[in-house]
Amino acid sequence: MKRNIIEVDESKCNGCGQCIPNCPEGALQIIDGKARLVSDLFCDGLGACIGECPEGAMKVVEREAEPYDERKAMLNIIPHGRNTVIAHLKHLRAHGESELYTQAVEVLKSKGIQIMSEELGEKGCCGHEQASQPAHQGGGCPGSMARMFDREKAIDSSPVSGTINSELQQWPVQLTLLNPDAPFFNNADLLVSADCVPFAFADFHRKYLKGKVVLTFCPKLDQNVDEYVEKLTYIFKNRSIKSVTVLRMEVPCCGGTEAIIRKALANAGVELNIKVQVITLDGHEQ
């Protein structure tokens, strides 16, 4: 069957192993100094490992693969201990995978293991209350899971006096279009924003954009990540950047935003403290 599954670019992987703790299912192992997918059966294709890869060597692809087997994966997870089991259950709930969650609970019951609701941050016991959200239709990517937010209680209906001015001080902003020799990069405070952040975080202009040069991209959907690293390496090496702030969404794949920046800094031989701020899907700072 064709489904989403993790693919490792071995030319980028340095074998650091940071992806392994985020794959309790056991689909990934370090073999001969590289992270390798050892079994299609254990990879759920949800991409929890992607955001932990500092080299940007992992991505979700669609290909022919054996169906993911939650029951077999759960038998791999249980020996890692209770905290890993709880993290896996939360992982399934967060991605709306109700069917897989049900299968996981059935395995736990068969082994006499009960996870209480307080451990999952829910009401009732996980052995009796199943996930109510349907599985999402985003092809396995948590970033494409359809969600709605109840804004009625949060809306401030008071009138706004005056005009709210934009804090954008340069154009263009998309990294593909930016000229690395543009004069506004000289001695700049750089704001690197994942594409979705300004839509989610209402105070983006005032709190983060003001006084900064901004560039934006999507680490998951954009195809020219290697070109991004090359362009950013040039900027860091030749433009005397004063500071870097990275804004990313909470979904795992968005962790690639920070990974790309860190790789470019390493390539440029430049040391800068990076301020990383994660924005939740409902628009808050994490």
Residues 6+ apart with CB under 8 A from 1: 64, 65, 66, 67
pLDDT tens, position by position, 102-117: 899 899 989 888 887 7
The pLDDT assigned to 189 comes to 96
- Mapped onto helix, strand or coil, the DSSP state of residue 33 is coil
- 149, two tokens: 């937010």
The Cα–Cα gap between 98 and 270 comes to 45
Query: What residue ranges define each of the domains in the chain, with the CATH number in brackets?
Result: 2-142 (3.30.70.20), 167-279 (3.40.50)
The pLDDT assigned to 175 comes to 95
Alpha helices in the chain (DSSP H): 70-77, 82-94, 98-110, 117-120, 197-200, 204, 225-238, 256-268
- Mapped onto helix, strand or coil, the DSSP state of residue 213 is strand
The pLDDT assigned to 244 comes to 97
The pLDDT assigned to 18 comes to 86
pLDDT tens, position by position, 45-57: 888 888 778 888 9
- 113, two tokens: 């293991």
The pLDDT assigned to 226 comes to 85
- Mapped onto helix, strand or coil, the DSSP state of residue 277 is strand
pLDDT tens, N- to C-terminus, the chain (286 residues): 888 999 999 999 998 888 888 888 888 888 888 888 888 888 988 888 887 788 889 898 999 988 889 998 888 888 878 888 888 888 787 777 888 888 998 999 898 888 877 777 654 334 333 333 333 334 445 565 666 666 665 555 566 667 788 999 999 999 999 999 999 999 999 999 999 999 999 999 999 999 999 999 998 788 778 899 999 999 999 999 999 999 999 887 788 888 889 889 999 999 998 999 999 988 999 8
pTM equals 0.55
SS3 for 112-169, per residue? CCCCCHHHHCCCCCCCCCCCCCCCCCCCCCHHHCCCCCCCHHHCCCCCCCCCCCCCCC
